[in-house]
């Protein structure tokens, strides 16, 4: 850092000094001026295309796009002159001219970046009334809806799909006024190798991309007196949800979430952190078995369904490396419909399991083959993202922020810190290591923190020694990073025993079912890290920090599964995978 040259300039007559290479946007931010942006995503979509961030630079002939324009010595910038505001207003008005301005009935109303800009800039919605495109909604998938009538062609979704996830199933098709975001040959999203990660939804500034809303299915089940409706909350949901209610990002609202779910009419509220612990028992045992028997290594984690679908579609040769363990959500559903139904004398046909998830891919996972432990009903009956749960709570008039803290129901109500950290990248790995290393060492582990696999780096490596053997591990998040790891394994450059992959960058804290990320969250904060902090804090203060010490998990084995990887555990808690064609017909 010592050799960084500082550049002196003036922004709105105020002197600013920033390192060389800083953009005007960032320089302005450093003195408390937020220039609005729309298409800009730091490091991901720096295309300077939408022209919303334009500013006046003295001596420059045209207004410049501040998101990509670097500062220069003695530069004089004005961020809010009449000329600038007029240009921004015209730009947004042109967007509105071909936009389905149905704000009153739009899922993103009050949470839409276009709406906010139009309001802030005092736009006239009808300034440029004229031809309007009329696109068919894509409702083909069980996890997302694309409504191009609300698309402003910012390409944030395209950038995240191709650069962050390296899946690249969406792009700009056609030209000029007919330009639209879509898939090859105008196919539906469910007819191309989309991995259902939902990252596109969380970066969409408007209502063009939304999750497939399953609120009505859940409400119908709640209203059905025959049904016992059971919610299970994933680790990262209790963090992300706070943002939907105006609380600071990174607030843990676990207790309020439990109370809200009860008020919504769920008969039981369980914690999927507990079945994350169960996952560790099964997955850790599977890893030890693979090591002992020279099975397929490295073993890959299987809790992130987008990743599983990615391997099945793009790297089928690695299917044998994926742990056969179901995800914590599927283990939850499977346990409810077998063990819990038997224990309580309930007909599993009358149990309705709802996953409360930071994820859209879980909506897809629910419908996979081999996701029915009792062979009759699906493990999970519905999956709601954090955004859907927030809408349900608001719709029911629940004063979420002032709710008292509720406690989870028994038996799946106690979880270890290891189960909680599943919500952040590296968390599954750390949780597994706590159990695996202790098992191999045959004595209590002294140091529970495996800091090498923590943090927001895309690829993290570590080697631990246990029982006289070295275990080489890797944790990757974001599919582009996972792909790099796969290629390194393939070429023999990297050798691992165990690899954790989270589909979304940063893990479930940044999942496709979490609150959407506006320009501020995308560009001026590390939202994944912010949301991960309370998870590690929760782990640190939990009295139980190892999955195998969770009394709930012990009871599950004593009463039902006998021991990890037992025949019954295999039947209920494990699944199968199969290669997928990228396109159905070819």
Residue 42 three-state SS: coil
CA distances, 540 to each of 318, 385, 425, 550 (Å): 35, 27, 17, 15
Compute, in degrees rounded to 10, the torsion defined by CA atoms 236, 239, 240, 244. 150
- 171 near other proteins (CB under 8 A): yes
Least distance to other proteins, CB of residue 193, Å: 9
Work out the burial of residue 46: count CB atoms within 10 Å of its CB; fewer than 13 is exposed, 13-18 middle, 19 or more buried.
middle
At closest approach, how far in Å is the CB of 140 from other proteins? Answer: 16
Binder among 59, 61, 104, 185 for other proteins (CB under 8 A):
185
**At its nearest, how many Å lie between other proteins and the CB of residue 184?**
4
Task: Show the binding pattern over residues 148-167: x = contacts other proteins (CB under 8 A), - = does not.
Answer: --------------x-----
Stretch that binds other proteins, among 169-177, 420-428, 536-544, 568-576 (CB under 8 A): 169-177
Residue 183 touches other proteins, criterion: CB under 8 A: yes
Between CA 516 and CA 514 the distance in angstroms is: 6
Q: Work out whether 177 is an interface residue with other proteins (CB under 8 A).
A: no
* Smallest separation (angstroms) from other proteins to the CB of 200: 13
Site size for other proteins (CB under 8 A): 15
Q: In this complex, which beta carbon is closest to other proteins, that of residue 157 or of residue 203?
A: 157
Nearer to other proteins, 184 or 401 (CB): 184
Are 67 and 53 a contacting pair, CB within 8 Å? yes
Closest approach of other proteins to the CB of residue 41, in Å: 19
- For other proteins, which is the closer residue by CB, 185 or 294? 185
The 3-state DSSP class for residue 134 equals: coil
175 binds other proteins (CB under 8 A): yes
Helices 237-244, 527-541: crossing angle, 10 deg rounding: 130
The minimum distance between CB 314 and other proteins, in angstroms, equals 11
For residues 434 and 547, is the Cβ–Cβ distance under 8 A?
A: yes
The H helix count followed by the E strand count for the chain is 21, 17
Q: Return the SS3 of 551.
A: helix
Q: Does 578 bind other proteins (CB under 8 A)?
A: no
Nearest in space to 506 (alpha carbons), one of 240, 254, 113? 240
Neighbours of 15 (CB within 10 A): 9
386: contact with other proteins by CB under 8 A: no
Comparing CB distances to other proteins, the nearer of 170 and 354 is: 170
Q: Which is nearer to other proteins, 168 or 296 (CB)?
A: 168
- Under the binding rule (CB under 8 A), the answer on residue 296 touching other proteins is no
Provide, rounded to whole angstroms, the least separation between the CB of residue 51 and other proteins.
21
Q: DSSP secondary-structure letter at 409?
A: P
For position 170 contacting other proteins by CB under 8 A, the verdict is yes
What number of other Cβ atoms are within 10 A of residue 495's Cβ? 11
- For residue 505, the 8-state DSSP code is T
- Which chain residues interact with other proteins by CB under 8 A? 162, 168-175, 183-185, 192, 583, 586
């Amino acid at each position: 850092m010592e050799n960084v040259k500082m550049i002196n300039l003036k922004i709105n007559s105020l002197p600013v000094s920033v390192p060389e290479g800083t953009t005007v946007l960032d320089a302005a931010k450093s003195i408390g001026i937020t220039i609005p942006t729309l298409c800009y995503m730091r490091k991901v979509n720096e295309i300077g295309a939408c022209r919303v961030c334009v500013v006046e630079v003295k001596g420059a002939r045209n207004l410049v796009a501040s998101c990509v324009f670097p500062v220069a010595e003695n530069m004089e910038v004005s961020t809010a002159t009449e000329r600038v505001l007029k240009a921004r207003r015209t730009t947004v008005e042109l967007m509105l001219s071909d936009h389905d301005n149905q704000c009153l009935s739009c899922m993103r109303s009050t949470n839409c970046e276009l709406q906010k800009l139009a309001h802030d800039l005092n736009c006239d919605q009808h300034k440029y009334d004229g031809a309007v495109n009329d696109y068919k909604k894509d409702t083909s998938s069980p996890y997302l809806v694309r409504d191009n009538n609300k698309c402003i062609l910012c390409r944030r979704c395209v950038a995240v799909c191709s650069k962050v996830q390296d899946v690249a199933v969406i792009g700009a098709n056609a030209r000029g006024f007919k330009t639209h975001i879509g898939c090859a040959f105008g196919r539906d999203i469910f007819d191309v190798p989309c991995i259902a990660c939902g990252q596109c939804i969380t970066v969409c500034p408007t209502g063009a991309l939304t999750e497939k809303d399953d609120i009505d299915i859940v409400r119908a089940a709640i209203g059905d007196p025959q049904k016992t409706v059971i919610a299970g909350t994933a680790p990262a949901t209790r963090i992300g949800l706070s943002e939907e209610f105006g609380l600071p990002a990174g607030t843990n609202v676990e207790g309020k979430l439990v109370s809200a779910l009860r008020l919504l009419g769920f008969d039981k509220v369980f914690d999927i952190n507990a079945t994350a612990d169960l996952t560790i028992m099964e997955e850790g045992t599977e890893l030890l078995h693979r090591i002992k028997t020279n099975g397929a290594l490295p073993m890959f984690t299987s809790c992130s369904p987008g990743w599983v679908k990615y391997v099945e579609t793009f790297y089928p040769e690695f299917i044998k490396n994926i742990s056969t363990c179901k995800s914590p959500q599927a283990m939850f559903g499977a346990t409810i419909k077998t063990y819990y139904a038997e224990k309580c004398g309930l007909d599993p046909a009358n149990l309705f399991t709802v996953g409360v998830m930071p994820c859209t891919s879980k909506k897809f996972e629910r419908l996979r083959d081999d996701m029915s432990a009792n062979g009759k009903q699906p493990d999970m009956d519905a999956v709601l993202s954090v955004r859907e749960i927030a809408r349900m709570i608001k719709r029911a008039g629940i004063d979420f922020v002032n709710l008292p803290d509720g406690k989870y129901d028994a038996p799946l109500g106690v979880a270890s810190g290891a189960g909680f950290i599943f919500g952040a990248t590296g968390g599954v790995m750390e949780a597994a290591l706590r159990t695996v290393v202790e098992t191999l060492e045959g004595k209590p582990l002294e140091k529970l923190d495996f800091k090498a696999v923590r943090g927001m780096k895309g690829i993290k490596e570590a080697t631990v020694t246990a029982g006289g053997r070295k275990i080489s591990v890797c944790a990757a998040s974001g599919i582009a990073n996972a792909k790099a790891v796969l290629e390194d394994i393939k070429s023999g450059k990297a050798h691992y025993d165990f690899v954790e992959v989270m589909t979304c960058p940063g893990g479930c804290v940044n999942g496709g079912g979490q609150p959407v990320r506006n320009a501020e969250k995308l560009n001026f904060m590390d939202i994944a890290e912010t949301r991960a902090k309370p998870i590690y804090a929760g782990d640190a203060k939990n009295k139980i920090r190892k999955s195998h010490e969770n009394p709930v998990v012990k009871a599950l084995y004593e009463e039902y599964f006998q021991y990890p990887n037992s025949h019954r555990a295999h039947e209920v808690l494990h699944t199968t995978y199969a290669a997928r064609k990228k396109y159905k017909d070819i």
